[in-house]
Each structure stands twice: as structure tokens, then as C-alpha cells.
Amino acid sequence: MEKAAATLTASSVHSDCSTEKALLNSHATASGTGWAGAWCASGIHGVHWLQVDLKSLSRIAGVITQGRADGDQWVTSYKLTFSSGGTVWDTYAEEGQDKVFEGNTDRSSPVEHLLVPPVPARFVRFHPLTFYVWPSMRMEVLLCAPECTLWTRWFDRDDTSGTGDAELLSYLRQENPGQICSGPSAIQARVRGTHVQASQTGEQFDSYDKEVGFYCINSDQSDGSCLDYEVRFCCDSGT
């Protein structure tokens, strides 16, 4: 599976929060508009939703949710709706019944749900049903990975002894000439040794992008240190 690049909107947003902070592993900033570490609805009453626009029809393989990074607020249950054009919406169902997804029980632990079979859609909406203190959440939409037949080897150029783990594409190309294509179509990152996917660690990333590479900063982590990651790139569409 791969991470989705998307535009986020919502039915409402509390003044301390922003949809930009709705991405998995986002963290709070010191000050300014939308400083809080999550998307937060404007109030505790009424119907609220968080929308993900994937920009094109995609095969959605699953979702991951987290609570608010800087406070004890999280969504404990929610529904998902999907749309191809943004006007007609279908609620995700199992055995003919709308599915209520179990949400979070703390502010940081990611909770993943896979969709079997994957759902074809462009738009996804998270609809909080119950919550702890306030309807606040961070999330990630998982897409079916491209059927890549030409992955690079795994690269691990950096450790966490400095400011963090920088597996940036520009550095990797310089240090491994001719081993990475000019236009990778996907990136994967995992923990070295255990092979746990980066999105499952609960850590916060400065970059996780096929065009930039991967960068984890020690000071962004709750324990002051990143795990040691390795990355690889899909080169089916690049030369």
C-alpha cells in the first residue's frame, strides 16, 4: 500500500485547528492560526466530517486514524463515505449494514482498518460518531500500491545520531549513481531490521515523498529520537 497525496477540507474547523494538521503524525506548532495537532470540528454538537480529495479515481485499500497530538481528544467511532464525483456518496458497508469503525483510545496510537475489497473512489469522508472530549483526529488514506515490477534495493544512508534520519533522494542519488531513476512513481519506507512500515510507527515525518525522499527529525518525536529507517523507490515509469 502507499500513502495518498490529497487535498483536505471539512464541514467545520475549530479556530485553533486546521485541516492541514489532519494528516497522520502531524504535530502542533508553537503559535499562529491552526496551531493544534489535529483537525478539530468547530463544536461537539451537530454533524461533522473530514474530506479527502485524492485528485483522481483511486483504489482505496484502508485508513489509519490518530487522536490530537497535543491534547487528550480523539474520535472513538466513525463511518466512511465515498464518492467518485463529489455529489453522490455511498456509505461503506459490510454484509448490507453501514460499518461503524472503531477509532482511537489515546492521542497517539495509530489504528488501521483495511477495506476488503478496495473501494474505487476519488473522495473519502470521515464522519465522527463518538469521541473523547472533542471530535479531533489525524488520519491517512491508504491506496493500493502500484504493481511495481522494478523496485530499487533498500537504501539506509543515515542513522539517528545527528538531527534525525535523512533518506533524501538528492543525497541517495549522489551516493549511489545510476541506481535510482529520474522519476520514481512510488516510495516505501520501513524500519530497518523489523520492517515495520513507517506509517505504523506513530512517528512524525518532515518528508515522506517520492520526489523528495524521507526525513525524520529527532526533535519532532516524543522520545527525542527517530527510529532507523530504510527506503526504496519504484522505477517502472522512470529512467
| Model confidence, pTM | 0.67
pLDDT at 237 over 90: no
Same domain, 107 and 65: yes
Tens-digit pLDDT profile for residues 84-128? 999 999 999 999 999 999 999 999 999 999 999 999 999 999 999
- Please say if the pLDDT value at position 3 is more than 80: no
The DSSP annotation for 6-53 comes to -EEEES---TT--GGGGBTT----SSSTT-SSSEE-S-SSS---EEEE
Decide if 239 is inside a domain.
Answer: no
**Do 123 and 18 share a structural domain?**
yes
Residue 20 forms part of a structural domain: yes
Considering the domain architecture, whether residues 133 and 173 belong to the same structural domain is answered as no
Domain that holds residue 193: 164-234
pLDDT of amino acid 194 = 96
Q: Are residues 134 and 183 in the same domain?
A: no
Give the mean pLDDT of the chain: 92
Residue 148 forms part of a structural domain: no
> pLDDT tens digit string along 121-179?
999 999 999 999 999 999 999 998 767 889 999 999 988 888 999 999 999 999 999 99
Interval 30-41 mean pLDDT: 81
139 contacts 22 by C-beta, under 8 angstroms = yes
Name residues whose C-beta falls within 8 Å of residue 10's C-beta, 6 or more positions apart in sequence: 19, 22, 39, 41, 48, 49, 50, 51
82 pLDDT above the threshold of 60: yes
CATH of the domain at 32: 2.60.120.260
| pLDDT computed for residue 204 by the predictor | 87
Same domain, 95 and 177: no
Same domain, 90 and 195: no
Q: Are 63 and 141 in contact (CB under 8 A)?
A: yes
138 and 169 assigned to the same domain: no
Clarify whether residues 47 and 89 are in a common domain: yes
pLDDT at 1: 54
Structural domain count of the chain:
2
